[in-house]
Structure formats: C-alpha cells, structure tokens
Amino acid sequence: MFELDGTLPLESELRVQIFDYDLLSGDDLIGETKIDLENRFLSARRGVCGLPKRYYVAGPYKWRDAELPRQILEKWCATQALPPPVWRGNSQVYVNGKTCCLRDYETRGQVHKDWGPPEERLALYTLLDLGLVPEHIETRTLYNPLRPEIPQGKIQIFVDIFPKSATIPPPINITPRAPQDLQLRVIVYNVQEVVLSDTSFTGEKMSDIYVKGC
C-alpha cells in the first residue's frame, strides 16, 4: 500500500511500475501501467473511490471514503445541476425524478449490527442505482516501453483519491490472514452403489475398497 501526495491538474497521471529485483546488477523493468487521475477526479460517475454494496461503520468492511453517502449524494446532485434530494424521514428519498425506499433494498428486514444509520444506507443504495462507480479491484495490463505492443502480465490494484482538506480515513488492512492450525475430522458413515469388480473364492461378488483422505 502506497500513499502519495499530488496536485491536480499538474500531476494528473499515476504510473505504476513492476521491477525484477537483482542483487548484483540494476533492477529490470518488467512493465508499467498508467492511470489518468484527472479523468477519474472529474468523472460524473465519481471515480475517486468505489462505493461498497453496504454501509458498515465497524468490522472488516468499514466505510473507507472521506465523505458519508448522504454527503456524496447531495454533492453529486449539485454537480449534475439537479435539485437536492428530498428526504421523507430517514427511509425514503426523492432524487432525479425517482423515489427510493429503504425497504426496497433491505427486503429481509434484518439489520446487521455493523450497519450504519438508515439514511446513510439509503443514500448509498441510491448512489449505486444512479450508476456511480462501485467498489472493485482493477485488473490492468502491464507494458514495457521497449516492447509496447507485447503485454508483460497484469496487476490488480485499486486507487482512491481524497482531497487533502478532507478527513482522510485510515487505510484498510489488506494483510492476508495468518495460517491457523486446525484438526479436521471426517466420519465415513456408509458407502453405497460401489461397483463390485472382484470375486471371492466362494464366487461371491466383492470389492476391496478403502477410503483415503488427502
């Protein structure tokens, strides 16, 4: 995970390079990919930080954007020259000629203990319905400038862009889970419909089967 400071539009391109580490000689460039940050920053679909499917305030899926869903919804309407959202309580909102109800998205009626307030959850569902960029991992192709026509592999990343004036959330922890020792117990209760391919000395069909785990 890397955190970099930049200024738009002066530094509008992010270049991610992958090198082959050499102990004695210089490191060799395997490939690179270029990302247009200004395009994402100015996109009408808000490509600065992908939106998750649910609004969590705790746990491993905790909200990681600098703005809350309701703030994002109000700002998006302003940038698109649309009337501001009209709220009816905390479970219904009218946006862009459509009424969105919380019960239409949470049909089971069960609320997870780590979910946030209902108005923030509804704002997030509405933003996703409006086509804003969802949370996702990008798979980008690597190219080497010496052989620009030949792909050199792929890299999976996600890029977040936050204004320095905002309260920037802490980075998410992407460290893989540590290995855990377990004991697996498998009980074979019965075996049925096995082909009896052998014949005993009495002429009875049989099969010397056994169970093996791996």
Phi, psi of 188 (to 5 degrees): -85, 105
Q: What is the pLDDT of residue 193?
A: 85
Q: What is the pLDDT of residue 145?
A: 94
Greatest CA separation for the chain: 90
pLDDT in tens, the chain (214 residues): 888 999 999 999 999 999 999 888 889 999 999 999 999 999 999 999 999 999 999 988 999 999 999 999 999 999 999 999 999 999 999 999 999 999 999 988 789 999 999 999 999 999 999 999 999 999 999 999 999 999 999 999 999 999 988 888 888 888 888 999 999 999 999 888 888 888 888 888 888 888 888 7
Residue type, 26: G
Q: What is the pLDDT of residue 19?
A: 96
- Residue 177: closest CA among 21, 60, 68, 39: 60
Q: What is the pLDDT of residue 84?
A: 96
Q: Regarding beta strands 92-95 and 28-36, do their DSSP bridges make them parallel or antiparallel, or are they unpaired? A: unpaired
Q: What is the pLDDT of residue 212?
A: 84
Q: What is the pLDDT of residue 127?
A: 97
The three-state (H, E, C) secondary structure of 58-82, written as one string:
CCCCECCCCCCHHHHHHHHHHHCCC
Q: What is the pLDDT of residue 134?
A: 95
Phi, psi of 76 (to 5 degrees): -65, -40
Strands of the chain (E only): list them: 13-20, 28-36, 86-87, 92-95, 98-101, 138-144, 147-157, 198-199, 205-206
Q: What is the pLDDT of residue 205?
A: 81
Q: What is the pLDDT of residue 209?
A: 82
Q: Please name the helix (run of DSSP H) or strand (run of DSSP E) that holds residue 116, with its range, or none.
A: none
Q: What is the pLDDT of residue 7?
A: 93
Q: What is the pLDDT of residue 171?
A: 82
Alpha helices in 3-137 (DSSP H): 37-42, 69-79, 102-105, 118-129
Task: Indicate yes or no: pTM above 0.85.
Answer: no
Strand order, beta sheet including 86-87: 86-87, 92-95, 98-101
Place of tokens 């501001």: 84
Distances in Å between the alpha carbon of 91 and those of 113, 120, 132, 168, 182?
18, 9, 21, 28, 45
Q: At what angle do helices 118-129 and 69-79 cross, to 10 degrees?
A: 40
